Amino acid sequence: MKKLALALMCLVSIAFFASCDPEGQPSISAYIEEGYVQDGDVVNVADEVYFGFVVASSPVTNNKLATLVVKIDDQEWETVEFDGETEYTYKDSFSFEAKEIIGETTITAVVTDVAGQTATASITLSVEENDEPLIASTFDWSRKGLTLESEEEMAAVGLTWPGNYRDDVFVTIKPLAGCSMYIIEDGDEFDAIKTEGDRDSFFAELTETATPDTQYKEISAYHNGTYNTMLAVVDADGEYHLVRFNRATTEMVTAGALIHLFGELK
């Protein structure tokens, strides 16, 4: 009986070690291409992060692949179910929400074959806050009667300026479809937002605590004037824009009123 027990123990041990034999595992490694992150890279919280993994069946068993599970930190990102593949390259990208992660984040991928053998690879990134300085630029948007002469420039920051009719006392600025606009009455905040990190943090708090405005209607269409109001705009692509109005001029011309809006952009 002792000999039989010993033999059984050996068989169990052999079976256990065979199932965990690294030579029988599928392979997995980070995808290498310019622009794709590798383990130990430093990225900015404002960056789009491109990553990938290359997986293949074990050359010893040649078992077909079953699944690839990708996680970002503790959150499952995607599960790929294979259909007879023995090789596969996974590529994807993600972007951080502002202020979401400063420090480290880890992308982990686990590949499993049809025999239940697994292999894991991970990419750990150092995430830094973007402190690139924001350089303000000036704008001069104008409308002559029903003709908006600055349509493209305004559309680039997610805004439009509908027509001013004779009974419109105030200029009307609206967000384009798919964009969100917030009115900031104190335009001095424009100067306080000095870096891209400042801007990202500002928008992260704003979009969590404030309700978007449907229109801005505080600039007189009849009189010249000075202003100090900022519009914070999130465009349809999720990009952030800061617009501060400084001055407006109105002149009566042949086609109607010629209105200029002057200000700064970041």
**What is the reported pLDDT for 255?**
66
pLDDT surpassing 60 at residue 212: yes
H or E element at residue 41: none
DSSP of 1-36: -HHHHHHHHHHHHHHHHHHT-GGGS-EEEE---TTB
**Residue where the block lists tokens 């990419």:** 123
In a domain, 7, yes or no: no
Cα(9)–Cα(3) distance, integer angstroms? 10
Cα(239)–Cα(138) distance, integer angstroms? 19
CB of 49 closer than 8 Å to CB of 95: yes
- Convert the pLDDT of each residue in 176-208 to its tens digit: 999 999 999 999 999 999 988 889 889 999 999
**What is the reported pLDDT for 100?**
55
Residue 96 vs residue 2, higher pLDDT = 96
Together in a domain, 255 and 219? yes
Residue 1 CB-density burial (10 A; 0-12 exposed, 13-18 middle, 19+ buried) = exposed
pLDDT above 70: percentage of residues in the chain? 87
* All residues at 6 or more sequence positions from 141 whose CB lies less than 8 Å from its CB, including other chains: 149, 150, 153, 154, 161, 260, 261
Q: 190 in helix, strand or coil?
A: helix
In a domain, 18, yes or no: no
Together in a domain, 108 and 152? no
Question: Domain span at residue 229?
Answer: 137-265
Together in a domain, 181 and 250? yes
Q: Which residues pair with 140 in a beta bridge?
A: 262
| pLDDT (average), residues 60-77 | 95
pLDDT above 90: percentage of residues in the chain? 70
* All residues at 6 or more sequence positions from 16 whose CB lies less than 8 Å from its CB, including other chains: none
**What is the reported pLDDT for 101?**
62
Nearest alpha-carbon partner for 42 in 104, 97, 98, 99:
104
- Convert the pLDDT of each residue in 4-45 to its tens digit: 333 333 333 333 333 344 678 999 999 999 999 999 999 987
**What is the reported pLDDT for 130?**
65
Together in a domain, 255 and 157? yes
Cα(253)–Cα(251) distance, integer angstroms? 6
Q: Which residues pair with 258 in a beta bridge?
A: 144, 251
In a domain, 67, yes or no: yes
Q: Which long-range contacts (CB under 8 A, 24 or more apart) does 148-155 make?
A: none
User: Mean pLDDT over all residues of the chain?
Assistant: 87
In a domain, 3, yes or no: no
Least confident piece of the model among 23-37, 224-238, 242-256: 242-256
Residue after which a domain boundary falls, among 128, 150, 173: 128
Q: State the total domains in the chain.
A: 2
Other Cβ atoms closer than 10 A to 215: 13
- Convert the pLDDT of each residue in 80-136 to its tens digit: 999 999 999 999 999 876 545 678 999 999 999 999 999 999 999 998 876 778 999
Together in a domain, 200 and 123? no
For the domain that residue 68 is a member of, what is the CATH number? Answer: 2.60.40.10
